[in-house]
Amino acid sequence: MLTRFSDEMRGNPDFVDVAGEHQRATGLSLEEFEGMIFSVHARFGEELARNLKNQPGLLPLKEANFAEIAIPYDKIKCFLDSVSGSPAAMAAELHKRDEGANDLTIFRKFPLIQQYYNLHLTSAWFGFLMMDNLFFLDKVQTGPYWHANELYGLKLRKFWGAVFEKYVNELLKQACTGTNSIFLPDPRSANDPSTQLCDGIVISGESMVLMEYKSSMFRADTKYSGNHASLAKEIENKLVHDREADERKGVEQLAEAVKSIFRRDAPLAVRGIDPASIKRVYLYIITLDSIGGTVGMSPFLNTYLVDCLESDSYPSLVIRPLYCSNIAELEGATGYFGDYTLPQILELWFNGNPTLTAPLAAMNIGADKWRGNQWLASEWDSIFRGMTAVLYPGHDPGPGMAAAIQRWRERRHYKR
């Protein structure tokens, strides 16, 4: 979906054709690449696990497993080459760059391992061992992104920020439609349209959520090396204040937004906002990188908020500590927007864990049944049908991926 939004932004001065660059690098269209990713992902599922005890030879993926799809062999080989590595190639990568025992980047880059097998002491044959199914599934997003990043670097990262903002705005717009909440994307000064207040705002009754979306991907060496000082420095640089560029980032941007809206003298006028009606304020950072959903991220960022925003200066407001989650957690939460507003969900998070040490994903929103975001379900179904058309032309996919995801989510909800 991010690549779909990027295609809609061809007029952006930093535009990068992510899908086109991926096809030039791999020889695969995104539909072909996505289709094979999800097909292999599905193969390594519950049915295979049940059968392995009696048929261990089923475990490795073989080129013959692709025999029934309508994609030429040369493209299948290109696909396998792009997601797999031999033990020798992986060892060479680790010799060049090893960030310690916590760093699983090697398995993110090569989630399939190329290996010769001789399970029954007969002739050896070539296959692929799945190291981690979720790392493999991540390739849907990371594969196209990193191909383009190698060519465009900073330009892509700037463009991806605009793409991510567009995606999150559409997600929240769809989730808030028909509810008791008002969503304001890209709120700007009524007197100076060049001044953006923050990336998005949700208003529900007397509550307001001010949001910043951050698409920055964090470096493997800081995330996994165990050097907490380096990690803290990168978090500060990308989510608080960029020292090199001397620019406000997430935390400081949200603090400035509160000061602008609620200053006593000459508050910033923003269409759709009546500051006098607001009694409770939530500050929320959403990251594309999974680090936003890490245990302790919210209270860590809140230490910076305390330094740049004096909540006591606004006696008529209740300003909660800073919240941070990754986009996947927000996507899950939006499924409940018909029952709870975003401010109510954030309040439940605070009441259940006042320090906000636990991530949003660990919170029980209070519903007895998992509720999916219907817009996302519809989009997934469209993507699923597109992949099916590429892999099995003329095949009727039936109820589609939306129904399958719904069943899987419900099973996962009750198991949890």
DSSP 230-241: HHHHHHHHHHTE
Q: Under a CB-based contact definition with an 8 Å cutoff, are residues 43 and 68 in contact? A: no
Give the whole-angstrom CA distance, residue 267 versus residue 64: 67
pLDDT of residue 382: 86
Burial class (CB in 10 A: 0-12, 13-18, 19+), 45: exposed
Give the whole-angstrom CA distance, residue 35 versus residue 196: 39
Rounded to 10 degrees, what is the CA torsion of 235, 309, 283, 329? 20
Give the whole-angstrom CA distance, residue 90 versus residue 400: 37
Partners of 214 in beta bridges: 287
Per-residue pLDDT reduced to its tens digit, 274-294: 999 999 999 999 999 999 999
- Return the exposure string of 250-283: e unless at least 16 CB atoms fall within 10 Å of the residue's CB, then b: bbbbbbbbbbbbbeeeeebebeebebeebebbbb
pLDDT of residue 374: 86
Give the whole-angstrom CA distance, residue 411 versus residue 244: 47
pLDDT at 317 over 80: yes
Per-residue pLDDT reduced to its tens digit, 289-312: 999 999 999 999 999 999 999 988
Residue 193 DSSP SS3: coil
Give the whole-angstrom CA distance, residue 152 versus residue 16: 8
pLDDT of residue 37: 94
Give the whole-angstrom CA distance, residue 402 versus residue 387: 14
Q: Of the given ranges (32-46, 191-205, 280-294, 362-376), which has the lowest mean pLDDT?
A: 362-376
HSE-up (13 A, CA, CB side) for residue 155: 11
Per-residue pLDDT reduced to its tens digit, 113-132: 998 766 555 555 678 999 98
pLDDT of residue 190: 85
Per-residue pLDDT reduced to its tens digit, 350-370: 999 999 999 999 988 765 566
| 413 — pLDDT class (breaks 50, 70, 90) | very low
Nearest to 294 by CA among 362, 216, 200: 362
pLDDT at 48 over 50: yes
pLDDT of residue 266: 78
Per-residue pLDDT reduced to its tens digit, 134-152: 899 999 888 888 889 899 9
112-117 and 125-130: which strand pairing? antiparallel
Q: What are phi and psi of 166, to 5 degrees?
A: -65, -40
What percent of the chain lies above the pLDDT cut of 70? 92
Q: What is the CA radius of gyration of the chain?
A: 23
pLDDT at 337 over 70: yes
Rounded to 10 degrees, what is the CA torsion of 134, 139, 140, 146? 150
HSE-up (13 A, CA, CB side) for residue 392: 11
Per-residue pLDDT reduced to its tens digit, 233-263: 999 999 999 998 899 999 999 999 999 999 8
Give the whole-angstrom CA distance, residue 196 versus residue 138: 32
pLDDT at 323 over 80: yes
pLDDT of residue 416: 39
pLDDT of residue 114: 92
What percent of the chain lies above the pLDDT cut of 90? 60
Greatest CA separation for the chain: 84
Q: What are phi and psi of 351, to 5 degrees?
A: -65, -35
